[in-house]
Each structure stands twice: as structure tokens, then as C-alpha cells.
Structure 1
Amino acid sequence: MNNIIGIDIGGTSIVGGKIEGNSIVEQLYMSSNAAIGGEVTLGVVKKVIESLLDSNTRAIGIGVPSVVDREKGIVYNVQNIKNWDEVFLKDILESEFKLPVYIDNDANCFAYGEKVFGQGHEFENFVGITLGTGVGGGIIQNSHLLKDSNCGSGEFGEIPYLDSILEDYCGSRFFLRTANQPAHELAIRAMNGDSEAIEIYNLYGQHISVLIKIILLIIDPQAIIFGGSIAKSFDLFKDIMFKNLKDFPYPKTVDKIKILTSDLENIGVLGAGALCIE
């Protein structure tokens, strides 16, 4: 059976998967060696691909935490990987493996992965938002990724907010700054009834409602799909989030919007692979 390979490049690890149909049939994790970066990290990418490649592989999709020249496959200023300021990744890998290579921002991969493999399949227009260390976004318009210039649209986390940017209030830094504790540890406390942790997640929900209002005003999508590690605790902040959407100037928009969380495991790999289908 023909397959595609999806590669999710992160600052800690590089995750690759062989995708047949709608399923990952083989998966591999390797350290990205991001602190060394450069050719060393590139070598890890190649090794992951080599380990998954077989005669039935038809294409390779790659998600990177950076801006990308989609046409030329050049990645710029990759976050958390040393000396990946300009990497001609498409040319390098197509020359090495003699297969088509498609590259995009990792948040765009999340959104398109949801469109192809997840809950996004029922919507023509939606926004995918990853809530984790950062806040990434991908925009699906007319069932396809928005064709922007640098893969930079949807970066709502960079919007100025209060004394900083939205990412500092909607990503993991909010919990570290507010309680000096990771989000997942606070989530356990909140689920066990700890009043302080519950209040922190309520405050977080208020900040998320601001993020949603901005998305509704700029994009007006059919749905917003949250992914990432913090989205796993959606039940802890959704009530206060919806409560704080009641003052939105267009109540019908709030009534109609679908706000969902991803139920896909390994969406980074699936999303990268989905680029081959696009």
C-alpha cells in the first residue's frame, strides 16, 4: 500500500510517522539536538526519514516552528534550533530522497491535519489553534490552507495584549508566571478541587475568551479547534471562557461558532503528512 511520511520538527524532538490511509502505521522519535543545530539536526531529520522510507513511499511532509517559503521550501528562523536561520530544506531532502517534499509551519500543519484527518473535515472555514509552550494558529479557507506569503497568518499569540502579548497569557508561560507551576500540574490540582488552581484556570479562560473574540472579529470562521497540551484541560476553563464571550458585540456569531478540541493523537505527524495530500 502506498504511504506518505510526516515529520514534526520540534525544539526537543523530531517525530516521524509512516501514514497509510488515515492511520500512522509506524512512528519514530529522535532528539533534535537543537542546541547543536545546523547540520547535526539536519542529519537527524534525514535519519528519521531513512528509517521510515520504503519503496511504497510517495511523498514527505514536514512541519517546522518557523516561517516558510512554501514554493521554494526554505525555512527561516526556526525557533529553538540553533543555526537554522535559513535552510533550503526542500532542495536538500528532494535531492537526497528523490521524492516530493512539502513544508509548512507546524501550526498550519495542525489545522490542515484536522481538516484531512480530524473534526475539521465538516467545515470549509475554520481556525486551528495550538495551546502549549506557544500559541500557534492555522487558517483553513474554502477547505484549504490560507495561501499567505510567509506562513505567518494566524499567529494570534503575537498580538499585543495587556503588558505583553497574547501568547504570554494563553500559553504555558501564563501558568509559570502566575503560579510558578506547569499547566499540567495545576490541572491535576484543579481536578482535585484545589481552589487556587481552579481560580487560575478561570483567569486563563478569561484570556482565552479574548483570543477567541479577536479570531471572530478578524476571521469569522465556522469553528475554532484547539489542540496542544493545554487544550487537554479544556473542561477546566471552558465555562468561564463562554461566560466571557457574552459581551461580544455580535451575539449571533457566538451562538453559531463551534469551539472544539482535537481528539487526534500525533496530530503533528498527521498534519505534516496532510501537506502531501494538499
Structure 2
Amino acid sequence: MEKAILGLDIGGTGIKGGVLINGHLEDIRSIATPALESKEFILDTIAEFIDSYFEYDLVGIGIGIPGLVDAREGIVLGLSNIPAFQHVELKKFLTERFGKPVFINNDANCFASGVHKFGVGRKFNHLVGLTLGTGIGGGIVINGHLYSGVNSAAGEWCSSTYLDKDFEHYCSGKFFERFYHKKPKALAKLAVAGDPIALKAFNEYGHHLGELIKHILYALAPEAVILGGSIRKTYPLFKESLYKSLSTFNYPTVIERFEILLSEMDETAIHGAVALVELENENEVVNN
């Protein structure tokens, strides 16, 4: 039996898994997250899902979590969309149950790690991954190493104050629902058909995202920002206004060496969870 690494992406609505064998991600599966159940019920659900992969010779398990994580101890500190999952010793629970190495990090950090190790970010030493969806998440790679910060909180620009709220309210799906009362996908269909209001929505969205990326550039000056999440698929609708916003960045020589790319992988979070195991084995994960 070939050696495999299991990667899990645990979200508020679903849990997805896949195994990396000889550099290829295979056997993608998913189940619903019992988000409103007890902590014990959720833990048992995760364990049963992992157990279904033990037809493979697993050498480790990597897990991405949409919240703050003590990555060193493997403790989930809190998930806003899974109320009972607060201060959960997930690593201890799983290692005791399965006897395999377990590594846990924030899902946006997993995304950044995944695009750096397996995707379009491979050629960069310094990059930021941004996931654009219902919310917005950020992950940082510096000198080829994933930088998670304290409690895996590095890259949480979503909570930085911007205008009357924060960047998440202007750079995620919340923007479209708050100001245009539609989901991004529905507005994108209208915009492609030439609807002026929908086109205006994406023009404004690009401006706000450009402001966020300028914020990132001033702090980190990465070589690239890699966009992931469902909203990245509407990139042609906001690309022009995004770059118009970036044109006001104070250091043109930085922009000359900077790229914005779209992740080509739909399972980047699982790739990133797998990468946690590989990078830990290679002593490449840097945490405070």
C-alpha cells in the first residue's frame, strides 16, 4: 500500500477531505458539518470521516480550520460558525484516537501554503494568499516559509478597520449583499450581460480590494498576491478598477515587481492542509 497524507478542510457547512499520493491529490470526499451539534458529536463526526480514509497507509493528517488555532498545541481556539467548537484540543483527540501525526492551522494559511507548494505560487519566495468568498482570509509566505503568527492569526486583514466597517465588509461577498442585495454569482451573470448596476458593483468591489492589497503591500511588499475563493472567478469584472486603485501606490518600483494571480486549484485548502504535514516534516513551518 502506498504512503498517503490526508488533508481536511473543515468549514461551517461542510468537511472535505483528500489524500496526497505521489504528489497527486486523490479521493476527494465531503460530508456536512454538524455545526449546531455538541462538541463531542462534532469530534466523533470528524473522527469517523478520517476513519473512512484508513484504507490508505496514512503517514500524517493535516487540517485547515476557519478560525484561530494554537498550531503548536493543535488547539482550536474558536469558530464563529460552529458555536460548540471553542478551545477544542483537536490534535490531542485525533492523535490519541489514530496514533498518527496531526497538524492544524487556519484555513487561509493552508490556502497560502497550498498555492506556494502546489500551485501558481511555486515560483515566489514571498507571497500572500487571499481567499475571497462569504468572508475573506489571508495567509503569508515569507522566504518560502509559511508564517502563521501567534494563534495562526497572521494575515487577518479582514478585521482591519476600513471605511465604516472593516475590509471583510468591502472585500468579500458581504459587500455585494450589503450594498446590492445579491450574491456575487448572481450579480456576475447580470454584469456579463451588461447590466449597468451590476457592472458598477464590481467596479466598486475592485477599488476596495485594491485598497486592501495596497495595505498588504505597505506592510509586506510581497512578490505576489494569489486570489482564491469563489469570487476570484469574477476577476475580469473587477480587474480594471483593482489596478486603477493600485496605481496610486506610493512606490512604483514595488508594483513593477508585483503580480496578482488566480489560484488554478479548486481544492487548494486541502492541498494546503496536506502541505502542513509535508512542511512540518521538512521543518519549514515558522510559528511564533
Give the TM-score normalised by the residue count of structure 2: 0.94
Q: Partner of 1:68 in structure 2?
A: 69
Q: Partner of 1:129 in structure 2?
A: 130
What is the CA-CA distance between 1:161 and the residue it aligns to? 0.6
Give 3-state SS (helix, strand or coil) of 1:221's partner.
coil
Q: Partner of 1:258 in structure 2?
A: 259
Q: Partner of 2:212 in structure 1?
A: 211
What is the CA-CA distance between 1:22 and the residue it aligns to? 2.7
Uncovered stretches (5+) of structure 1, i.e. residues with no partner: none
What is the CA-CA distance between 1:245 and the residue it aligns to? 1.2
**Higher alpha-carbon deviation: 182-191 or 140-149:** 140-149
Q: Distance in 2 between matches of 1:29 and 1:222?
A: 34
Q: Partner of 1:190 in structure 2?
A: 191
Q: Partner of 2:15 in structure 1?
A: 14
Q: Distance in 2 between matches of 1:40 and 1:23?
A: 32
Contact 2:138 2:157 in 1 (8 A): yes
The aligned amino acid for 2:60 is A
What is the CA-CA distance between 1:39 and the residue it aligns to? 1.4
Q: Distance in 2 between matches of 1:195 and 1:265?
A: 30
Q: Distance in 2 between matches of 1:245 and 1:144?
A: 26
**Higher alpha-carbon deviation: 247-256 or 153-162:** 247-256
What is the CA-CA distance between 1:55 and the residue it aligns to? 4.8
The aligned amino acid for 1:212 is I
Contact 1:175 1:183 in 2 (8 A): yes
Contact 1:17 1:24 in 2 (8 A): yes
Q: Distance in 2 between matches of 1:195 and 1:87?
A: 48
Q: Partner of 2:47 in structure 1?
A: 46
Give 3-state SS (helix, strand or coil) of 1:87's partner.
coil
Q: Aligned pair count?
A: 278
Q: Partner of 1:87 in structure 2?
A: 88
Q: Structure 1: which 4+ aligned runs deviate by more than 3 Å?
A: none
What is the CA-CA distance between 1:239 and the residue it aligns to? 0.8
Q: Kindly provide the CA deviation profile for residues 102-145 of structure 1, in whole angstroms up to 9, marking residues without a partner as x.
A: 00000000000011110111111100010111110000011111
The aligned amino acid for 1:100 is P
Q: Partner of 1:143 in structure 2?
A: 144
Q: 1:218 to 1:17 in 2, by over 3 A?
A: same
Percent identity, aligned pairs only, is 40
Give 3-state SS (helix, strand or coil) of 1:53's partner.
coil
Give 3-state SS (helix, strand or coil) of 1:211's partner.
helix
Q: Distance in 2 between matches of 1:21 and 1:255?
A: 37
Give 3-state SS (helix, strand or coil) of 1:59's partner.
strand
Contact 2:4 2:56 in 1 (8 A): no
CA RMSD of aligned residues (A): 1.0
Q: Distance in 1 between matches of 2:145 and 2:22?
A: 19
What is the CA-CA distance between 1:37 and the residue it aligns to? 4.2
Question: Mapping of 1:97-176 within 5 angstroms?
Answer: 97-176=98-177
Q: 1:241 to 1:147 in 2, by over 3 A?
A: closer
Contact 1:125 1:223 in 2 (8 A): yes
Q: Distance in 1 between matches of 2:38 and 2:114?
A: 27
Give 3-state SS (helix, strand or coil) of 1:52's partner.
coil
Contact 1:26 1:52 in 2 (8 A): no
What is the CA-CA distance between 1:147 and the residue it aligns to? 4.5
Q: Distance in 1 between matches of 2:238 and 2:38?
A: 37
Q: Distance in 2 between matches of 1:228 and 1:108?
A: 13
Give 3-state SS (helix, strand or coil) of 2:246's partner.
coil
Contact 1:8 1:268 in 2 (8 A): yes
